[in-house]
Structure 1
Amino acid sequence: MIVSNTVSPLWLGLPQGHAQRIAQAVREGLDQAPGNTAQVYFRADDVAVPGNSFSRMLATFRAHDAPLCLAVVPAWLTVSRWAALTRDAGREDLFCWCQHGWRHMNFEPQGVKKREFGQARPARDKRQDLAKGFKRLKEIMGERFTPVFSPPWNRCDGESMAAMPSIGFKGLSRTVGAGPQPPEGLPDFPVLVDLHTRKEPDPAASLDALLAELVRGLATGSCGIMLHHQRMNETAHAFLDALLGALKAASGLRFVHFGHLL
């Protein structure tokens, strides 16, 4: 299991006044949204192993009574880890658990954007891994498994998506604008706001870009926000708390998770 814990420059030098700017961005986005209302969902990727940062992330969502979609890597999950994760989660109504790839392994050649489910693999192999992951999570999680697939690196090809409905998947979650189009009957719940895998070297520019994503997402009426708990430091946790507080305080905003959207 290989997961990056690199902290983005934004969380090493967050500019002052960010709480006020978050609230301003939320107001601006809702002012542009249809009917001045929007739904917001959060998706946390690379889940399977309990730990302090994971526990703190869940506690922050519980404190704000906000739901969270947890994208679990099936090959990393064990029965004992699942027991620890659910003890941490506590409230069943706030958290939904979906599938994040199979092993979170890149199969693309050097120089090509990373994919676990891309053109570098035969369709049969991709289908087998999709089905293995689905079966494993269903067996371990039971009725708490939400049949939505989130591909590692937010990328998967048409062959993989074509196989998903017959396996039992009811939805998909990638990034806004990702291609190709999913088959009919497989809705995509995309994320736009990236909290923790940002690459801007300048913290001020990074905060500007993050808040611009938040405004654009809210303006559409449906805003998906992506988290990576392994990349969160103290500053990132405090920012998440402020963000959830600003969203919860906003009139016309509704928190949802994938289970509500299916």
Structure 2
Amino acid sequence: MKGMKYMWWKYRKLFILLSSLVMFVLSGCSPKNLDQVTLNVSAASSLKEPLNEITKMYNAQHPNVEITLNFAGTNTLKMQILEGAEVDLFLSANKDIYEELEEKGYFMQGQILAHNDVVLIASLESQNTINQIEDLAKEGCQLILAEEGVPISIYAKQIMEALELSYGEGFKEKCLQNVVSKETNVKQVLTKIVLGEGDCGFVYNSDLMGETRDEVRVLPLPEEAKVETQYWIGQLSQTKNQEEAEQLYDFILSEQGRQVMQKYGFR
């Protein structure tokens, strides 16, 4: 009897030990116990809709990665990085701004992300003020632009300069005299035109997806006034989570990511 009792305790202890070991291994493999990582992504305001969708898709596959999205005008985001903001990925609506940071050594890798088109929109209530491109310079036309240095503002001025070939020297200056407000990003320009707080403004074609296109009028630009817009993505050298940042970078550039970009009007 003593021998049987001893063997029973011996196997009971072994069972408890093995059970504890199995529970330890299983708990260590559980996704809930993976190290949580936070990635900071700074992106141009015009990328808000596609990037929100792309990061949700990524999170479904990587639940341990928390993605903080910071949307603003590209020039504002650049200044934040120069001032020491902790950023893992930067998505720029302007090639020159991206290259400025690249030349300063801020990126460990980067490349072109997408293209977009600039369009001139007018409020539904402005038919008596602007109906064609040359009306931009007409006295009384209320033009809304983005602040200096914001990519959409840079493109708008390039378009005005190109239009001087058709409408004469001084056309750009007359347009600028009609500016009644300067906004911090392209989304705010769009909002003010939709609300009728200005007659017209320049936005991206991607900003007019869905019902928004029915809330404004789109005035066609002549072929010679169209500008090429490039979006660039860069992984910053300062990232503390290099592996996770690279995985998100690759996912945004993947076929899945590009399909979402196209869905929202980018090409």
Pick the TM interval, shorter chain. under 0.3
Determine which structure has more spread, i.e. the larger CA radius of gyration. Answer: 2
TM-score under structure 2 length normalisation:
0.27
- Which structure shows the higher helix fraction? 2
Q: Bigger relative contact order, structure 1 or 2, given CA contacts below 8 A and separation 6+?
A: 1
The answer to which structure has the higher strand fraction is 2
TM-score by length of 1: 0.27
